[in-house]
């Protein structure tokens, strides 16, 4: 992949919020003392009337957001995904989802690529935790531009939405004209031998894997499965039928995330061999982001290996 | 319905609570009976609400943070005219709008679902924030149990309300001194409650939670207090009105059988 720009996904979160606050009175942005990290400091500085820092109190922040939503506002609560989905899980479940409130959860610093902060700060279970909650929508955009679009598109969803996005600068693979529809997997490239469903920064890795494998005549159908819930069953079942095997790729635990979500679809409609590129029931550690991604096989090479394995099983 | 005699209404509400819980054969009488006068004062005097327009955006809001006291809230809403009291005995039965803990989408008049303790004050703060943003006069009331303040989130929310000067929030602690497993003093001491809230930047009013006049005066003082949130620490008796239930943790979450119901009603009615 040549000439690719690198921008942190969290910039897209901040930009999307800025756009919303520019035109809408009902949008509020809440943070739990990590505004400089989540980019909500951009809102704090440009639209101070739309911003509240609740301090280091994720549970209270989510509860406060629920009250704001009950009062007719649309709050975006923002902090590291690991704390949002973990520390405030009961508040997400019983106060936000049970009431079906329009609270938006910005889960920043998702995945292992958070890097040197280590395992305590790497959200690797948040997709699983969020998607088991009734009413909750779950979106894992692939780059900063798609994150911006998701933040804006979610504003009027009639219920809770969880986003996850990474900290580091990652390749920008979409532009403002790339279609983005919540609930609709984005076909990145056509292919016939194996379908790859990826989310987050793994979409770029899947594109690199496809380019590499094409040299040896293996054709990958690559999807950006940005909406994990509600999932695009049609795209998954069609790909399973036409390609005959599937690889999933995510910066998340194997259990409960994208792999599980896709598997749940194919087992009921079109069972085919599947392989997963993910974090295998272990915690992360400190290290430079790229080195960590490589250490846990969360890269194009990992996807290529998974494709070779699944093609053997398909044969 | 106009209730000129709130004391008579309180007797009716206690009867409703006991009959509902008996019919359901489960539920929480102790903490419902301790909150009878608090909810009566709120819904029949203090709060600006209209049962014919339960989703009026200008209304005052009530968050039952101690969600297990649902029976008294249901009884109050029914007697206020939100729904037919005839459905009260369906409490906790399959398909009933009267869930074991309140579910706002199943019953008119509920401002929020609740049941997982410690969360209501944060929700009340959010509602108060929204009212201020929208320049509404709406006030938010939040009833907590004294055992409930053992939850850490309560104190996060206490900080938030004071930090942002949410004077349109009024918290009430149903200070009955008893929780599920025993007295609060035995299980996890919460006193001095008033001093704790004061240290967190709140205006604190101590009052007898079974004295309607005292409660009404306290709510008036709360409304007149500007720049900071108010908490009413209401001294109450768990199981109030039924001698064998009073101050007994065994009656926190147990239904009276037929004989116990008869004995209880004989004391109340």
Cβ within 8 Å, pair B116-A28: no
User: Given this model, what pLDDT does residue A241 score?
Assistant: 97
Cβ of residue A91 closer than 8 Å to a chain B Cβ: yes
- How many angstroms separate the CA of residue A61 from the nearest CA in chain B? 8
Q: Are A20 and A27 in contact (CB under 8 A)?
A: yes
User: Given this model, what pLDDT does residue B73 score?
Assistant: 98
Of A19, A25, A58, A212, the catalytic one is: A58
Residue in A57, A71, A90 closest to B126 by CB = A71
Cβ within 8 Å, pair B153-A100: no
pLDDT tens by residue, A55-78? 999 999 999 999 999 999 999 999
Look up A58 and say whether it is catalytic: yes
Report d(CA B67, CA B32) in Å as an integer. 10
pLDDT tens by residue, B84-129? 999 999 999 999 999 999 999 999 999 999 999 999 999 999 999 9
Cβ of residue A76 closer than 8 Å to a chain B Cβ: no
User: Given this model, what pLDDT does residue A1 score?
Assistant: 66
Classify each residue of B94-109 as buried b or exposed e, where b means 16 or more C-beta atoms within 10 Å of its C-beta.
Answer: eebbbbbbbbbeebeb
pLDDT tens by residue, B57-76? 999 999 999 999 999 999 99
The residue extents of the domains of chain B are: 6-268
Cβ of residue A60 closer than 8 Å to a chain B Cβ: yes
Cβ of residue A59 closer than 8 Å to a chain B Cβ: yes
| Nearest CA among A227, A176, A179, A226 for reference residue A201 | A226
Report d(CA A11, CA A15) in Å as an integer. 6
User: Given this model, what pLDDT does residue A122 score?
Assistant: 97
**Cβ neighbours of A24 in B, within 8 Å:** none
Can you point out the beta strands (E) in B1-67?
61-64
- The overall average pLDDT reported for chain B is 97
Chain B residues with at least one Cβ partner in A under 8 Å: 57, 61, 103-105, 111-113, 115-116, 119, 121-131, 133-134, 140, 152-153, 156-157, 159-160, 163-164
Counting Cα atoms < 13 Å in the Cβ hemisphere of A291 gives: 7
Q: Is the dihedral of CA A76, A78, A83, A85 positive or negative?
A: positive
- How many angstroms separate the CA of residue A68 from the nearest CA in chain B? 4
Q: What is the mean pLDDT of residues A253-263?
A: 98
User: Given this model, what pLDDT does residue B269 score?
Assistant: 80
Q: Is B214 helix (H, G, I), strand (E, B) or coil?
A: helix
Q: Is the dihedral of CA B211, B213, B216, B221 positive or negative?
A: negative
Point out which residues pair with A27 in neighbouring strands: A74
Cβ within 8 Å, pair B126-A99: no
Q: What is the mean pLDDT of residues A175-186?
A: 98
- The overall average pLDDT reported for chain A is 97
**Cβ neighbours of B129 in A, within 8 Å:** 52, 64, 67-68, 71, 73
Q: Are B108 and B83 in contact (CB under 8 A)?
A: yes
Each as own residue / partner, the long-range contacts of residues A209-216 (CB below 8 Å, 24 or more positions apart, any chain) are: A209/A300, A209/A301, A209/A303, A209/A304, A209/A307, A211/A1, A212/A300, A212/A304, A213/A304, A213/A307
Query: Is the predicted pLDDT of residue A187 greater than 90, yes or no?
Result: yes
Residue in A60, A72, A98 closest to B157 by CB = A60
- How many angstroms separate the CA of residue B13 from the nearest CA in chain A? 27
To the nearest 10°, the Cα dihedral for A211, A215, A218, A220? 10
**Cβ neighbours of A65 in B, within 8 Å:** 126
User: Given this model, what pLDDT does residue B1 score?
Assistant: 38
3-state helix, strand, coil in chain A (%, to 5): 45, 20, 35
Query: Is the predicted pLDDT of residue B213 greater than 50, yes or no?
Result: yes
User: Given this model, what pLDDT does residue A3 score?
Assistant: 81
Cβ of residue A62 closer than 8 Å to a chain B Cβ: yes
Q: What is the mean pLDDT of residues B227-233?
A: 98
Closest chain A CA to residue B57: A71
User: Given this model, what pLDDT does residue B88 score?
Assistant: 98
Label residue A302 exposed, middle or buried (CB < 10 Å: 0-12, 13-18, 19+): buried
User: Given this model, what pLDDT does residue B3 score?
Assistant: 47
**Cβ neighbours of A99 in B, within 8 Å:** 104-105, 112-113
Point out which residues pair with A169 in neighbouring strands: A8
Q: Are B69 and B143 in contact (CB under 8 A)?
A: yes
Structurally, at CATH architecture level, domain A6-171 sits in 3-Layer(aba) Sandwich (3.40)
User: What DSSP string runs through A272-307?
Assistant: --EEEEEE-S-----S-HHHHHHHTT-SHHHHHHHH
Closest chain B CA to residue A89: B116
Residues 6+ apart with CB under 8 A from B76: B13, B39, B40, B43, B44
| Nearest CA among A170, A167, A136, A186 for reference residue A284 | A167
| Nearest CA among A137, A167, A148 for reference residue A230 | A137
User: Given this model, what pLDDT does residue A315 score?
Assistant: 79
Structurally, at CATH architecture level, domain A186-314 sits in 3-Layer(aba) Sandwich (3.40)
Report chain B's C-alpha Rg in angstroms.
Answer: 17
Q: Are B148 and B69 in contact (CB under 8 A)?
A: no
Cβ within 8 Å, pair B103-A98: yes
Cβ within 8 Å, pair B126-A63: yes
Query: Is the predicted pLDDT of residue B2 greater than 50, yes or no?
Result: no
Report d(CA B234, CA B211) in Å as an integer. 10
The size of the A-B interface in CB pairs under 8 A is: 104
In CATH terms, the fold of domain B6-268 is Rossmann fold (3.40.50)
Cβ of residue A95 closer than 8 Å to a chain B Cβ: yes
Residues 6+ apart with CB under 8 A from B156: A55, A57, A59, A60, B122
The residue extents of the domains of chain A are: 6-171, 186-314
Q: Are A53 and A79 in contact (CB under 8 A)?
A: no
């Amino acid at each position: 992949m040549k000439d690719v720009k690198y921008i942190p996904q969290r910039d897209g979160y901040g930009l999307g919020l800025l756009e919303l606050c520019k035109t809408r009175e009902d949008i509020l942005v809440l943070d739990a003392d990590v505004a400089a990290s989540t980019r909500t400091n951009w809102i704090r500085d440009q639209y101070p009337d739309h911003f509240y820092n609740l301090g280091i109190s994720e549970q209270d922040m989510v509860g406060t957001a629920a009250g704001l939503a009950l009062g007719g506002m649309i709050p975006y609560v923002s902090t590291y995904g690991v704390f949002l989905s973990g520390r405030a899980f009961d508040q997400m479940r019983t106060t936000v989802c049970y009431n079906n409130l329009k609270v938006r959860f910005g889960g920043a610093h998702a995945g292992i690529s958070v890097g040197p902060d280590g395992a305590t700060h790497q959200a690797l279970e948040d997709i699983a935790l969020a998607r088991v909650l009734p009413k909750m929508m779950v979106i894992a955009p692939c780059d900063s531009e798609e994150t911006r679009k998701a933040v804006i598109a979610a504003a009027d969803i009639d219920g809770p939405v969880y986003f996850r996005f990474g900290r580091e600068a990652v390749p920008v693979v979409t532009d403002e004209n790339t279609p983005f529809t919540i609930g609709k997997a984005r076909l990145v490239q056509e292919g016939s031998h194996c379908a790859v469903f990826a989310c987050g920064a793994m979409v770029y890795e899947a594109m690199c894997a496809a380019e590499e494998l094409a040299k040896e005549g293996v054709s990958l159908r690559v999807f950006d499965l940005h909406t994990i819930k509600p999932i695009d069953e049609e795209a998954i079942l069609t790909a399973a039928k036409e390609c005959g095997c599937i690889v999933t790729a995510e910066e998340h635990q194997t259990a409960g995330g994208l792999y599980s979500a896709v598997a749940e679809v194919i087992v009921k409609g079109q069972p085919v061999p599947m392989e997963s590129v993910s974090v295998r029931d272990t915690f992360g550690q400190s290290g430079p982001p790229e080195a960590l991604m490589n250490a846990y096989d969360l890269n194009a090479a990992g996807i290529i290996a998974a494709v070779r394995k699944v093609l053997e099983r398909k044969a | 319905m106009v209730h000129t005699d709130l004391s008579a209404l309180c007797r009716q509400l206690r009867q409703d609570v006991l009959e509902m819980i008996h019919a359901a054969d489960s539920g929480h009488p102790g903490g419902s009976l301790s909150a009878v006068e608090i909810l009566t004062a709120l819904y029949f005097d203090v709060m600006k609400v209209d049962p014919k327009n339960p989703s009026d955006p200008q209304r005052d809001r009530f968050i039952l943070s101690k969600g297990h006291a649902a029976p008294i809230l249901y009884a109050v809403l029914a007697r206020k005219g939100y729904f037919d009291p005839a459905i009260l005995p369906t409490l906790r039965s399959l398909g009933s709008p009267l869930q074991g803990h309140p579910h706002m989408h199943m019953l008119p008049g509920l401002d929020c679902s609740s049941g997982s303790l410690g969360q209501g004050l944060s929700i009340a703060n959010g509602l108060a924030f929204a009212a201020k943003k929208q320049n509404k006069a709406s006030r938010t009331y939040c009833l907590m149990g004294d055992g409930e303040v053992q939850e850490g989130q309560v104190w996060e929310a206490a900080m938030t309300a004071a930090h942002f000067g949410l004077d349109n929030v009024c918290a009430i602690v149903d200070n009955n001194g008893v929780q599920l497993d025993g007295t609060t003093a035995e299980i996890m001491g919460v006193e001095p409650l008033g001093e704790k809230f004061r240290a967190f930047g709140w205006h604190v009013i101590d009052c007898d939670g079974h004295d309607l006049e005292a409660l009404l005066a306290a709510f008036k003082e709360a409304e007149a207090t500007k720049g900071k949130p108010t908490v009413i620490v209401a001294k109450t008796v768990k199981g109030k009105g039924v001698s064998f239930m009073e101050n007994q943790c065994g009656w926190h979450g147990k239904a009276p059988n037929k004989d116990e119901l008869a004995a209880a009603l004989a004391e109340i009615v």
